[in-house]
Structure 1
Amino acid sequence: DELMALGRDGETPEAPRFNMAALGLRMSARSNAVASLHGDVSRRMFANLWPGALEQETPITSVTNGIHSKTWVSPRIDALLSRSVNPIWDGADAAVWSRVHHMDDRELWEARRHGRNALVDFVRDRLQADVLDPDALTIGFARRFATYKRATLLLSQPDRLRRMLLSQERPVQFVFAGKAHPADEPGKTMIQAIEQFARELDVAHRFVFVQDYDMHVARMMYQGCDVWLNTPRRPLEACGTSGMKAAMNGALNCSIADGWWAECADGLNGWVITSADEDPDPARRDLREGLNLFNILEGDVVPTFYDGTPPSRWIARMKHAWATLGPFVTASRMVKDYTTGLYEPAATQSDRFTANRAEVASSVANWKANVARQWEAVRITAFEAEHGKASADVHLGVLGADDVACELVHGPVDANGSLLHATVERLGLVDVQEGTARFAGTFGPTAAGSYGVSIRVRAHHEALTNPVETGLITYR
């Protein structure tokens, strides 16, 4: 029963499912998502595992994924970055990466052309067909064909797609690759739709699907594509790393602001496809986002790529993308974040808890058991908040004032009276009389308009990993 309770994904004993994620979260002192937006989504998804805590307090942090750059970057780009940025550019900081702005434009453009030529030769050899143009703007899409990734979003505007593909002055070509899970029938249907379009005679030379997707195919595409396309339904992408691998080769991302791109896009280091995630109709949402994608391609991506030889505005974007993304998307940065944000604090806590025959661990365990037994008696008997001052009386029963934290929770409210962007401020202890503690403090509104103020008391111990881990929180 105890094991099943640890894996229960609801607040009630009747919750039917055993959830491995719930088990893992409850059994872990520290948990993380793999991108900032993924952290927001995860805290919302699993907030019910910590009843009484605010969604923002759900103890899930985030460490954005990174890539092992040397595995994916072409030898030519590697050599260029080594000369222009630093011999050890993988893991360099932003100040070092800023040197990329001094890179010779023609040398950079020639390196990119070399990668595109290699991709064209590879695809021609793989398909045994005279396809693609080594001088045309090349857009790539390669990943697992899960339905939420919407590989077929491009096909939603077939006439506009054809005009781009068949343009004589500013041709655009697309290279697709990927696999679906054997049991994912909708994903396999998407692949079939892409392949069917690629077989249409008028566009087959500029729209291709490369079968037998593997690391080698992916590497050739990262190194040869000018634009990396990503069209997931926000916020279903946890992180995604294919765009990172393409970016480190000098490709520019054109993506929905989901996963890693949501925190890295700045408007100049690539393009953001406007998401219509507020639209409850999936078909209408796909249409709106598809229209925006084509507006970006036709109105900005294509004109910028063909603006000069070499195209100075395109190259400026490439350099800016490297300068802003280079310090962030590498595994070196990711490992540092894990080390400083999770591993070192965990090691420090472990040392403290296990010292002197686990004296602190035993003390905290006994404290948790005692507070849990006595918590039913804890209640807020009085509360006042006005003119920036707040006070509360808390009946503690047999607990001490240092076993609890009395906190003011305040912030703007929505039309339903629910707090938005709540601020939590701890009130100070004033005195304790006959088992009742008085707490008081001051606060200031954080926004104009409708505003809400509440009070709560929670179990508190300075050695807890996170403030809400006991789940013992009482509101008034």
Structure 2
Amino acid sequence: MNVIGKVTVLPQLPPSIARLSELAYNLYWSWTPHAQMLYQDLDPVIWERFQRNPVRTLLEVSQARLDALAADSGYLARYKAVMADFDAYMGKKATWASRNAAGMAPVAYFSMEYGFHESLPIYSGGLGVLAGDHCKSASDLGLPFTAVGMLFHQGYFRQLFDRDGWQNEAYDEMDLTTLPITPARTASGQEARVAVRIAGRDVSVRVWNLNIGRIRVLLLDTNVPENSEEDRKLTARLYGGNQDLRVQQYVLLGVAGIRALRALDIPASVYHMNEGHAALLGLERVREYVEAGLDFRTALETVASSTLFTTHTPVAAGNDAFTYDLMDRYIGEWPGRLATSRDELYGLARHDQNWDGQTVPAFSMTVFALRMSRAANGVSELHGEVSRDMWKFLYPGAEAEEVPIGHVTNGAHNLTFTSQAMRDLLSTVLPKDWTERLEDEKMWTAVEKLTDQQLSGVQLDMKCEMITFIRARMREQMLRNGASAADVAATDTLMSENALTIGFARRFATYKRATLLFRDRERLSRIVNDPERPVQFVFAGKAHPADNPGKAFIQEIYKMSQEPEFRGKIVILENYDMNVARHLVQGVDIWLNNPRRPLEASGTSGMKASFNGSPNFSVLDGWWREGYDSTNGWPIGEEREYADLNVQDDADAYSLYHTLESEIVPRYYGHATGDASWAHSVRRAIQTVSPRFSMQRQVIDYVQQYYLPIGERGQQVAADDSARARAIAGWKTWVRQQWPHTHLTAHADLPATCNPGQTAPVVAQVNPAGIGLDELRVEAVLNRGGHLTRVPLKNQGDGTFSADVPLKESGLYSVGVRMIPEIGGLSNELEVGLIKWATAR
């Protein structure tokens, strides 16, 4: 038919259940299964057809069904209980933040993607789900917190396998009237609109409001009538298109995001950039200060002092870098707006790249984010180490361990991923308020009270539910691809609830090595087809549309799953999303992860499985390097580096098979009791992973390590019209001008050998070139086996610095002397980025 218009007819909710509409527009329901059941029971078919979306379900369900449930005493009792819990949650005053972070400065959190629920597909994978979980726990903890992101009206892609197992992508236009979002409104009641100038044209941006418990998320949308057709597509797809599109999206996220906060009068004192995509928010914040009368460098210090940057990837491809010519096209007007030069602005982002055999300067979003912040972190302990080494070139003369990049190990939102059945079981032994104390490790020792039978019963129920889900998904895929009647019928017998079931689900980036399991096909066949102790595997995951090697991994697994010896024992599901993830982490017995160490920054899927009692079986990379304690899962491979990737793959595959055959399978199928039992591994997985890797613990770490100190320092630097920022900026300018003219020589009276505890006199002579001697830190640096010890030298006057340096332990030392410029009030001692090492005299 020819459509001339659309109208949404809203349901007439009976008074007794009228607040179902209110609840539908707050994603509190996304981590509350009892709330979801209220909508599912309206019409289970509609609920599933529309990705478990309460708003759409309310729009589609019949009036007769609403009226019937409004008179159903059982339904009404559940409705009242859910609404009472919701009201208690929303109205709670005594939150963690009120008790532990009173007066905390408000945080604005910027992320390119958010994974809150599958019905709002504006995420691609782990980064987005992590951001969504961060928001949920910020709400749980009662933080003053606002998130900013993009409303991609085609979302990420829907993944479809063809008959050969090759990934194809489909993009579905979302009907915004059926999503749990509302137009954000200004104080005057007008729909919030902001404008951004990109490549000489003004782009209008509509702002949407999304409620996540007690906090709000602002979503930016250019698909508005006043924009050109091309500009309306700027917020069409997540991670789609070419580099031109990506740069424009980054301008929108950063610049329009800040303007959206201002248009809505939302306070923000700490700005948290979740990955480099958000780095350009620094442009707009500096512009605000320059427009208010500050010079560029003072504005830069003011902005950076209140900004935190979290980096998520040690893989070069995950750190965007663009040519200067491309950046000129989209931010070429910004140097003038900021009262600075192109060289100075772009110099803050410079990271030379080798493109087509030539080394050229490039604008790195990660480098810009690091330069535009005064605090940065990786997302696990090992990733922090890798990041410090990766970005140490920004601090010439520094050792990797000194680079000011810390770490906060990722977590996951327990209540989003823990099944209701497991939550009910945990509630029988944990305190009544356990969901508010998830990070409390002592509390979780009560899991020891759960019996083997209780645990196995819940896990068997969840496994059966997962297998039912897998069979339905595979049947749907078979029918779409025109499979034979026999093949379609065979989906009814896929997998067995009595077999050890191992899950693997994540992005199909090649470094995650999804096909490592198939390195020795014959050995795998023996493991899978053991008649007494069978093992089965379920895979899921998306490859980026442009990642053909990742797609080839998917196809290899698919084809292997069709081979006679693996048919029904190995399954790969299409269209991995949060719904698939929940079924798998709640239903498998073991979670498998085998990235090429050390390229897994953190990973979180294994955490979610362990919340449900599934031990982790993983390479000691990312979070598992910190989480593994020899009782709560199993490692793959060794903590070592490999020069030959083939050797690494062989070693890790051998370890995988050997551990599976000799430890995991015997324990799962054995009848041991106590510490040797399978139930012991299950308990330990729940007990150790649930608190330490809860999102609640993660967000508390961010508050204590970053949000509170950044808020305090940012306020100090910006006080009195940025007086401190002006002093720091002026001092840095002077020091950088004079630094090439400084000179440092040193002498150490070192014996060839000595006993532990002896000292060695070290003397340095400084020509400060006009820099105050009290503004120079001169120190001896002892390197013993890669571990640094730093000993300050005392100013003796006339440019002479000296100290007796203790040699406390036995070993081979190398000794150097260096000087670093510093004044009080810097964020860290390497902030200026200048280090001069002494020459011998």
Matched, 1:112 2:452: no
Q: Distance in 1 between matches of 2:765 and 2:344?
A: 35
Relative to the length of structure 1, the TM-score reads: 0.93
- Cα deviation per residue 1:98-121 (whole Å; 9 max; x = unaligned)? 111122221111111111111112
- Give, in angstroms, the shift of residue 42 of structure 1: 0.8
The secondary structure found in structure 1 opposite 2:506 is strand
| Corresponding residue of 1:416 | none
The secondary structure found in structure 2 opposite 1:338 is helix
| Corresponding residue of 1:9 | 351
| Corresponding residue of 1:417 | none
- Give, in angstroms, the shift of residue 169 of structure 1: 0.8
Pairs aligned (count): 464
Q: Distance in 2 between matches of 1:457 and 1:405?
A: 5
In the alignment, is the contact (CA less than 8 A) between 1:273 and 1:292 conserved in 2? yes
In the alignment, is the contact (CA less than 8 A) between 1:392 and 1:440 conserved in 2? no
In the alignment, is the contact (CA less than 8 A) between 1:395 and 1:437 conserved in 2? no
Ranges in structure 2 where 5+ consecutive residues have no aligned partner: 1-342, 354-358, 476-490, 751-757
The secondary structure found in structure 2 opposite 1:462 is coil
Matched, 1:93 2:455: no
Q: How does 1:25-424 map to 2 (within 5 A)?
A: 25-90=370-435, 91-128=438-475, 129=491, 130-275=493-638, 278-308=641-671, 313-386=677-750, 387-389=758-760, 390-413=762-785, 420-424=786-790
Q: Distance in 2 between matches of 1:377 and 1:233?
A: 46
| Corresponding residue of 2:826 | 464
Matched, 1:427 2:769: no
In the alignment, is the contact (CA less than 8 A) between 1:403 and 1:460 conserved in 2? yes
- Give, in angstroms, the shift of residue 332 of structure 1: 0.7
In the alignment, is the contact (CA less than 8 A) between 2:506 and 2:541 conserved in 1? yes
| Corresponding residue of 2:806 | 443
In the alignment, is the contact (CA less than 8 A) between 2:494 and 2:568 conserved in 1? yes
Q: Distance in 2 between matches of 1:132 and 1:171?
A: 10
Percent identity, aligned pairs only, is 39
Q: Distance in 1 between matches of 2:782 and 2:403?
A: 17
Query: What code does the residue aligned with 1:370 have?
Result: W
- Evaluate the alpha carbon distance shift between residue 369 and residue 238 of structure 1 in structure 2; reply closer, same or farther with a 3 A threshold: same
In the alignment, is the contact (CA less than 8 A) between 1:124 and 1:131 conserved in 2? yes
Ranges in structure 1 where 5+ consecutive residues have no aligned partner: 414-419
In the alignment, is the contact (CA less than 8 A) between 1:8 and 1:15 conserved in 2? no
- Give, in angstroms, the shift of residue 404 of structure 1: 0.6
| Corresponding residue of 2:107 | none
| Corresponding residue of 2:118 | none
Query: What code does the residue aligned with 1:337 have?
Result: D
The secondary structure found in structure 1 opposite 2:362 is coil
The secondary structure found in structure 2 opposite 1:140 is strand
Query: What code does the residue aligned with 2:473 have?
Result: R
Query: What code does the residue aligned with 1:379 have?
Result: H
In the alignment, is the contact (CA less than 8 A) between 1:276 and 1:288 conserved in 2? no
Q: Distance in 2 between matches of 1:87 and 1:304?
A: 33
- Cα deviation per residue 1:28-69 (whole Å; 9 max; x = unaligned)? 111111111111111111100111222111111111111111
The secondary structure found in structure 1 opposite 2:642 is coil
Q: Distance in 1 between matches of 2:598 and 2:669?
A: 33
In the alignment, is the contact (CA less than 8 A) between 1:407 and 1:426 conserved in 2? yes
Q: Distance in 2 between matches of 1:208 and 1:48?
A: 45
Q: Distance in 2 between matches of 1:409 and 1:310?
A: 54
In the alignment, is the contact (CA less than 8 A) between 1:307 and 1:313 conserved in 2? yes
In the alignment, is the contact (CA less than 8 A) between 2:414 and 2:690 conserved in 1? no
- Evaluate the alpha carbon distance shift between residue 261 and residue 331 of structure 1 in structure 2; reply closer, same or farther with a 3 A threshold: same
In the alignment, is the contact (CA less than 8 A) between 1:264 and 1:325 conserved in 2? yes
- Give, in angstroms, the shift of residue 275 of structure 1: 3.9
In the alignment, is the contact (CA less than 8 A) between 1:81 and 1:87 conserved in 2? no
Query: What code does the residue aligned with 1:341 have?
Result: Q
- Cα deviation per residue 1:330-377 (whole Å; 9 max; x = unaligned)? 111111111111111111101211223322222222222222222233
- Cα deviation per residue 1:65-89 (whole Å; 9 max; x = unaligned)? 1111111110011111222223343
- Evaluate the alpha carbon distance shift between residue 464 and residue 154 of structure 1 in structure 2; reply closer, same or farther with a 3 A threshold: same
- Give, in angstroms, the shift of residue 217 of structure 1: 1.0
Query: What code does the residue aligned with 2:350 have?
Result: R
In the alignment, is the contact (CA less than 8 A) between 2:593 and 2:618 conserved in 1? yes
- Give, in angstroms, the shift of residue 131 of structure 1: 1.1
Q: Distance in 1 between matches of 2:700 and 2:807?
A: 37
Query: What code does the residue aligned with 2:820 have?
Result: R
Q: Distance in 2 between matches of 1:18 and 1:317?
A: 48
Query: What code does the residue aligned with 2:458 have?
Result: A
- Give, in angstroms, the shift of residue 10 of structure 1: 4.9
The secondary structure found in structure 2 opposite 1:151 is coil
The secondary structure found in structure 2 opposite 1:109 is helix
RMSD across aligned positions (CA): 1.9
The secondary structure found in structure 2 opposite 1:272 is strand
Q: Distance in 1 between matches of 2:533 and 2:816?
A: 61
In the alignment, is the contact (CA less than 8 A) between 1:380 and 1:394 conserved in 2? yes
- Cα deviation per residue 1:248-306 (whole Å; 9 max; x = unaligned)? 11101000011111111112211110147533222222112101100000000000001
Bigger relative CO (Cα 8 Å, ≥ 6 apart) = 1
Comparing 365-374 with 113-122, greater Cα deviation is found at: 365-374
Query: What code does the residue aligned with 2:764 have?
Result: A
The secondary structure found in structure 1 opposite 2:612 is coil
Q: Distance in 2 between matches of 1:222 and 1:88?
A: 24
- Cα deviation per residue 1:117-171 (whole Å; 9 max; x = unaligned)? 1111211222231111111110001111111111111111111111111111111
In the alignment, is the contact (CA less than 8 A) between 2:778 and 2:801 conserved in 1? no
